[in-house]
């Protein structure tokens, strides 16, 4: 019959790193403290330049369509919001808000770890 | 003239014609916000109204600092206030609070799901594997164990939950949310409750996703221990929308034993992995058949498929559910197996599975107890020097 076996965390699945806290550092930077103890900081201007959405990045070739020089240094977020349990989205002052940044990507491109 | 009058009033103190807030509001209610199509008084834009003697100070708080009509609105306000008899100095200050950010999508999720402790997805790669039957019975098994449970039908194109549970009609709450009807103590929501059970829902992906988003933001789920979401089959729009909108605690993946079903269940598992939704485990349905003549388990399809796929991904195998004709018959009558015949092998299986699910959910909770379920960071202008 049912062979349920409540074991350690879902057998071999490791808990993925999630956001423990998120805060603005200064006019340009914000910090995420992850549940696994890692701390990362992000430059919001760079995040806009690396926007992974389908209009900024070619969905098939993964080439960045958005030219970094077209994003002015003056760009800032309006707000940063969680997307499910795996990503966050940023609404920028230029009105762009379609980029979804998975935590796995953020942990790769952060300024400091 | 005015000067003399003003001096006179200052000496005599308050005059019978003293300006009041009502007068101000009455005047300013003539100003419309062109975008929102309502007057600025009803929109609640007026702030900090101060009347001292006959002098007026007030703030008009717009929804965006970049409002194109800001200046014209200011001069309009000054002109209208100037019509008030015996008015003194007028000072109108324009301010702004961005509206969208005070009521973002996430806080809408909070109004709907804020008191829901756990959200469990019931999904499969393929249709027709008994996913809805599993979702319903998991819900009622958890309720039978004393939990407060909700059941959301995310299958917009083929809603089965209304038939399987027979709830009443939904009602509207006084806060513009939809009250989910109850069926035997479980709160139920499904597109089938609205469209009329017989009618087809013919909409494209974005509309379907919109409906599901409403179920997660505009349904008054209230206090629940578990909200079970019956996913549509596959890995498309709606599945993405749910995982992006609601904080899913974990997913139960349902499959039948054959290889052809297992191929698709792998895709469902991969989808949850991408969305970082922990997979609670695998449930195998239609595992075997017990006929009315003997107690022998007839393995109609291959045996052990669900266990195999669980082992392959290192997932928990939550249990196998036999094929029983009574399960289907009672389902059609709106009575879940765990209620209709709690001693039947299928009902027993679902009870065991529900216990395993509840245990796994607690483990997930412990593992993520430090994590933010959802967050919104409003950006504030800060000077670079302050660090």
Q: How much is the ipTM here? A: 0.87
pLDDT of residue B106: 53
Q: Is the pLDDT of residue A39 over 90?
A: yes
User: Looking at residues A89-113, what average pLDDT do you find?
Assistant: 88
Instruction: Specify whether B25 is located in the same domain as B129.
Output: no
Confidence of residue B79 (pLDDT cuts 50, 70, 90): very high
Instruction: Specify whether B116 is located in the same domain as B262.
Output: yes
Q: Of the candidates B67, B101, B135, which is a domain's last residue?
A: B101
pLDDT of residue A2: 40
pLDDT in tens, B238-284: 998 998 888 899 999 999 887 777 888 888 888 898 888 999 999 99
Confidence of residue A64 (pLDDT cuts 50, 70, 90): confident
pLDDT of residue A87: 92
> Where is pLDDT greater, at A1 or B85?
B85
Q: Is the pLDDT of residue A47 over 50?
A: yes
Instruction: Specify whether B276 is located in the same domain as B231.
Output: yes
Instruction: Specify whether B120 is located in the same domain as B47.
Output: no
List chain A residues with CB under 8 Å of B105.
81
Task: Tell me the CATH number at B43.
Answer: 3.30.300.130
List chain B residues with CB under 8 Å of A101.
none
Count of domains observed in chain B: 2
Percent of residues, chain B, with pLDDT higher than 70: 88
Range of the domain at B326: 106-367
List chain B residues with CB under 8 Å of A11.
314-316
pTM for the model stands at 0.71
pLDDT of residue A90: 95
pLDDT of residue B387: 44
Q: Is the dihedral of CA B357, B157, A97, B43 positive or negative?
A: negative
Q: Is the pLDDT of residue B3 over 70?
A: no
Instruction: Specify whether B331 is located in the same domain as B318.
Output: yes
Question: Alpha-carbon distance A111 to B205, whole Å?
Answer: 38
Q: What are phi and psi of A59, to 5 degrees?
A: -65, -25
pLDDT of residue B67: 61
Q: Is the pLDDT of residue B100 over 60?
A: no
Cβ contact, residue pair B318, A2, below 8 Å: yes
Integer CA distances (angstroms), B49 to A72, B46, B56, B255, in order: 39, 7, 7, 64
Structural domains in chain A plus CATH codes: 19-109 (3.30.2020.30)
Q: With CA atoms as reference, report the closest residue to B249 among B107, B365, B115.
A: B365
List chain B residues with CB under 8 Å of A5.
316-317, 356
Q: Of the candidates B101, B130, B159, which is a domain's last residue?
A: B101
Which A-chain residues 18-57 have CB contacts (< 8 A) with chain B? 18-28, 30, 35, 44
Which of B106, B348, B372 has its CB closest to that of A20? B372
The answer to whether the beta carbons of residues B371 and B248 sit under 8 Å apart is: no
Cβ contact, residue pair A35, B248, below 8 Å: no
Residue B379 lies in a domain: no
B83-87, B104-108, B195-199 — most confident range: B83-87
Q: Is the pLDDT of residue B386 over 80?
A: no
pLDDT of residue B184: 93
The distance of B58 to chain A (nearest Cα, Å) reads 27
A24-28, B168-172, B310-314, B365-369 — most confident range: A24-28
Integer CA distances (angstroms), A91 to A96, B67, B104, B151, in order: 6, 18, 11, 33
Pick from B367, B376, B383 the residue to mutate for testing the A interface (most A CBs within 10 Å): B367
Cβ contact, residue pair A82, B370, below 8 Å: no
pLDDT of residue A93: 93
pLDDT of residue B190: 92
Residue B118 CA to its chain's centroid (Å): 13
Integer CA distances (angstroms), B33 to A39, B29, B56, B143, in order: 44, 10, 22, 50
Which of A22, A27, A76 has its CB closest to that of B375? A22
User: Looking at residues B188-193, what average pLDDT do you find?
Assistant: 91
Pick from B120, B307, B370, B387 the residue to mutate for testing the A interface (most A CBs within 10 Å): B370
Residue B126 CA to its chain's centroid (Å): 25
pLDDT of residue B101: 30
pLDDT of residue B94: 87
Which of A6, A26, A86 has its CB closest to that of B275? A86
> Where is pLDDT greater, at A88 or B100?
A88
List chain B residues with CB under 8 Å of A78.
98, 101, 378-379
Task: Tell me the CATH number at B113.
Answer: 3.40.50.300
Alpha carbon distance, N-terminus to C-terminus of chain B: 56
The distance of A65 to chain B (nearest Cα, Å) reads 24
Residue B180 lies in a domain: yes
Confidence of residue B65 (pLDDT cuts 50, 70, 90): low
User: Looking at residues B104-123, what average pLDDT do you find?
Assistant: 80
List chain A residues with CB under 8 Å of B313.
12
The distance of B60 to chain A (nearest Cα, Å) reads 22
Instruction: Specify whether B159 is located in the same domain as B10.
Output: no
- b/e code B67-76 from CB counts within 10 Å (16+ = b): beeeeebeeb
Q: Is the pLDDT of residue B326 over 90?
A: no
């Amino acid at each position: 019959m049912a062979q349920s076996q409540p074991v350690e965390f879902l057998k071999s699945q490791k808990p993925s790193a999630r956001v423990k806290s998120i805060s603005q550092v200064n006019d340009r930077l914000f910090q995420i403290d992850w549940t696994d103890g890692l701390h990362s900081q992000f430059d919001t201007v760079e995040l806009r330049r690396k926007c992974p959405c389908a209009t900024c990045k070619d969905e098939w070739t993964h080439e960045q369509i958005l030219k970094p020089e077209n994003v002015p240094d003056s760009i800032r977020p309006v707000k940063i919001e969680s997307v499910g349990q795996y990503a966050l989205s940023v609404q920028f002052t230029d009105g762009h808000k379609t980029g979804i940044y998975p935590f796995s990507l953020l942990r790769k491109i952060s300024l400091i770890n | 003239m005015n000067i003399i009058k003003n001096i006179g009033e200052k000496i005599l103190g308050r005059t019978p014609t003293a300006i009041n807030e009502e007068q101000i509001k009455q005047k300013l209610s003539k100003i419309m916000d062109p975008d929102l199509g309502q007057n600025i008084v009803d929109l609640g834009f007026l702030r900090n109204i101060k009347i001292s003697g006959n002098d007026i100070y007030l703030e008009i708080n717009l929804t965006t600092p970049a409002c194109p009509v800001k200046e014209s609105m200011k001069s309009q306000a000054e002109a209208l206030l100037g019509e008030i008899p015996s008015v003194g100095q007028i000072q109108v200050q324009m301010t702004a609070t961005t509206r969208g950010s005070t009521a973002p999508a996430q806080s809408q999720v909070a109004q709907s799901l804020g008191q829901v402790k756990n959200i469990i997805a019931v999904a499969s790669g393929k249709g027709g594997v008994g996913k809805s039957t599993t979702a319903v019975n998991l819900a009622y098994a958890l309720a039978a164990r004393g939990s407060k449970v909700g059941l959301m039908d995310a299958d917009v194109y083929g809603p089965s939950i209304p038939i399987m549970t027979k709830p009443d009609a939904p009602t509207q709450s006084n806060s513009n949310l939809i009250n989910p009807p109850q069926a035997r103590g479980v709160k139920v929501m499904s597109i089938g409750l609205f469209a009329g059970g017989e009618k087809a829902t013919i909409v494209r992906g974005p509309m379907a996703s919109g409906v599901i988003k409403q179920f997660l933001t505009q349904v008054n789920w209230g206090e629940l221990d578990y909200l079970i979401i019956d996913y549509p089959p596959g890995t498309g729009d709606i599945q993405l929308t749910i995982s992006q909108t609601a904080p899913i605690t974990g997913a139960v993946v349902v499959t039948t034993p054959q290889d052809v079903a297992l191929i698709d269940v792998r895709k469902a598992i991969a989808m949850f992995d991408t969305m970082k939704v922990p997979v609670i485990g695998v449930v195998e349905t239609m595992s075997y058949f017990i006929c009315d003549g003997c107690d022998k388990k007839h393995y109609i399809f291959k045996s052990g498929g669900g266990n195999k796929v669980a082992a392959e991904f290192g997932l928990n195998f939550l249990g196998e559910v036999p094929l029983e004709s009574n399960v289907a018959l009672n389902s059609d009558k709106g009575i879940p197996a765990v209620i209709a015949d709690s001693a039947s092998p299928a009902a027993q299986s679902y009870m065991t599975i529900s216990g395993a699910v509840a245990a796994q959910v607690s483990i997930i909770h412990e593992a993520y107890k430090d994590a933010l379920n959802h967050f919104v960071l409003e950006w504030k202008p800060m000077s670079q020097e302050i660090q």
